[in-house]
Chains A and B, each alone.
Chain A
Amino acid sequence: MIFLALMLGTGLTVMAAFYDFPGPLNVVVALTIAVVKATLVVLFFMHVRYSGRLIWLVIFAALFWLGIMFALTISDYWTRTWMMPLGS
């Protein structure tokens, strides 16, 4: 079941890649499918669904720190150009 869902997701993401969604939606669609697939692998193949709270805590801590790394770095690059008109 999980296996079929993962294969389906792969097919879906390839098809979606050739379709030109408006704006940044292509990225959103591709990453959403990837996140769903990864979640299925973690929950079922890696047995996290049946694991204790300690494992959940470790995973959420990891995702949290990963989020901090991405959020802080991207906020830097994203806002750098905002000051350009004043400087130049």
Chain B
Amino acid sequence: MAEGLATTHEHPAHHAALQHHFENMEQQREAGTLGMWVFLVTEIMFFGGMFLAYTLYRYQYPVAFATASNHLDIRLGAINTGVLIVSSFTMAMAVYTTQIGKRKGAILCLILTMILGATFLGIKAVEYHDKYRDHLIPGRLIPGNPFNPDVHALHLPVGVPVGNVELFYWIYFAMTGMHALHMIIGLGLMTWLTIKTWRGRFGPEYFAPVEVSGLYWHFVDIIWIFLFPLLYLLGRHLEGHIR
């Protein structure tokens, strides 16, 4: 704050979105961004716990994890990674177009981002269905369809207990499921942003909600950037070695 604490600050015409406890729009925006980052940090710790669980169990049961991992569809996983990166790009463009006051461009970018997000979830649903078909949903979550890798395609190497392969799928569904939930929340946020943008609530002076939602969306992208190699790729090079 350049003017400091002193003086009589006269009140110029306030922006309608300025809350009374902030000096000006700039301060309000900075506080909002910082708050969002603090929230994202708690999210990092939340997902971090699951990444840690993955690390420990992969360290303990490398062969079981490689076997289970190699059954995932690398093509769908890679396509989804691309889809999410493009959606992060369109989201960044949505923030930019809002900042420079191009309302129609912003709406277009938001809708594109939502379409890409929905595409990701659709592909994920196809993958989940494949797992369901192959009896790879862990435990007895689905009545009448218990975990049973023998039914389809997944041949266990000698000496690897079924439970260890199942463990991989617990972690797979927990992590991708939490990630998908975050995507669904993100789609909800963007629907709300699109409506508000449509009504002309955002512009060069006030775009914090778009920016902060963008941070959230990019964070969800980052989680996937780590999930994809960890769940789909590591173990691929061992394919020839596991008997």
Residues of A25-43 at the interface with B, using a CB-CB cut-off of 8 Å, are 26-27, 30-31, 33-34, 37-38, 41-42
**Which chain A residues (19-70) contact chain B, with CB distance < 8 Å?**
19-21, 26-27, 30-31, 33-34, 37-38, 41-42, 44-47, 51-52, 54-55, 58-59, 61-62, 65-66, 69-70
In the complex, how many angstroms separate the beta carbon of B89 from the nearest chain A beta carbon? 5
Knowing A10-B85, A61-B41, A70-B52, the reply to whether A38 touches B234 (Cβ < 8 A) is no
Cross-chain contact A13 with B33 (CB below 8 angstroms): no
B237 and A26 contact, CB distance less than 8 A: yes
Q: How many residues on the A side are at the interface (Cβ–Cβ under 8 A)?
A: 42
Residue B166 lies at the interface, judged by CB distance under 8 Å to chain A: no
Flag whether A88 is at the interface (Cβ < 8 A). Answer: no
* A38 and B48 within 8 A (CB): no
7 closest cross-chain pairs (CB), A and B = A17-B233, A62-B41, A30-B229, A20-B237, A17-B236, A3-B89, A38-B222
Q: CB within 8 Å of B: which residues of A?
A: 2-3, 6-7, 10, 13-14, 17-21, 26-27, 30-31, 33-34, 37-38, 41-42, 44-47, 51-52, 54-55, 58-59, 61-62, 65-66, 69-70, 73-74, 77-78
